[in-house]
Amino acid sequence: MRLICQHLSKVYATRSGRIAALVDLNLVVRDREFVCIVGPSGCGKTTLLKIVAGLLAPSGGEVVYEHIDGAARNAMVFQEDSAFPWLTVIDNVAFPLEVEGVARTERRRRAQVILDRVGLGRFALNYPHELSTGMKQRVGIARAFARRPALLLMDEPFASLDAQIRAVLQEELVALWSEHERTVLYVTHDIEEALFLGDRVIVMSGSPGQIMAEIPVSFPRPRSHALRADPRFVGLKEEIWELIKSEVLTALAGHPGVAP
């Protein structure tokens, strides 16, 4: 499928006045493309993701999905653990399929297949409190892929993890994406993560959020951890940092126009 964001804007009403989170944002994500969005805190990255997911209404503009072909429109993975504590791991992964009316045998079969794929097959009957933080994030990713969505939306899913676990899960995510061929829109503060995962990096300005640059990432796949030491990778990382450095400093100074 192809995602088209046309002239999107979002304004929040607050006690101190109206805050513009996004202004006239235009973005096209191509079929089966992995696009990462980076920018300073408060630039509207999460707002954009929620509008695309249908969780927020835009103040202006529209979101268009093209060529969905009967698949679930989208699935979202959040930074926070979103597993239901009263359900087993397999029932957590199967839950969206139950909501969609998929028969119990089929939804549990699909859930087990994806759990095996992310290395959680033997924990299918465990409960979330029995898992590590990294394992809980795998449950969230497995649940999203089990739906077979046309578009996978990810809001900093690895931000709370330590560097070693994050690196492993990044490689697992790329492998899953390559296997299932989904279109992905991924929000992150981590420039290195964006370059490792993405086909393209969208760089956003501070509030109000606008697209400053689109950086193509041409490193061949599959990618390994060694890529991070490649001089071209390091150079691209520095290029993106220079684009957003002043925006980050403004955000740190407590700019009053900061938005979600």
Distance from C-alpha of 78 to C-alpha of 89, rounded to nearest angstrom: 17
pLDDT at 234: 96
Amino acid at 231: P
Q: How far apart are CA 53 and CA 3, in angstroms?
A: 11
Scored b (16 or more CB within 10 A) or e, 20-36 reads bbbbebebebeeebbbb
Query: 42, 49, 248, 72: which is closest to 150 by C-alpha?
Result: 72
In the prediction, which pLDDT does 70 show?
56
| Token pair for 83 | 């597993």
**In contact, 42 and 260? CB cutoff 8 Å:** yes
CA dihedral 42, 145, 181, 188 (to 10 degrees): 20
99 Cβ contact list (under 8 Å, min separation 6): none
At 256 the pLDDT is: 46
Kind of pairing between the strands at 200-204 and 211-216? antiparallel
CATH number (3.40.50.300, 2.60.120.10, 1.10.357.10, 3.10.129.10) of 2-71+149-252 reads 3.40.50.300
Pick from 247, 171, 205, 217: which is nearest to 34 by CA? 217
What is the predicted pLDDT for the residue at 120? 93
Query: What is the rounded CA–CA span in Å between residue 186 and residue 38?
Result: 9
* Mean per-residue pLDDT pooled into runs of 10, the chain (260 residues): 93 87 94 94 90 94 82 80 91 93 93 92 95 90 90 91 87 88 92 96 90 94 90 95 82 56
Torsion from C-alpha of 137, 140, 141, 142, nearest 10 degrees: 120
pLDDT at 71: 58
Q: How far is CA 79 from the centre of its chain?
A: 9
Record the pTM: 0.90
Which position has the token pair 């045998």?
105
Give the Cα separation of 187 and 254 in Å (integer). 22
Whether residue 260 has a cis bond before it, omega within 30° of 0:
no
Establish whether the linkage from the previous residue to 208 is cis, with ω within 30° of 0.
Answer: yes
Domain boundaries, the chain: 2-71+149-252, 84-147
Q: Is the dihedral of CA 83, 88, 89, 91 positive or negative?
A: negative
Q: Residue 27 carries which side chain, given as an amino acid letter? A: L
* pLDDT score of 103: 93
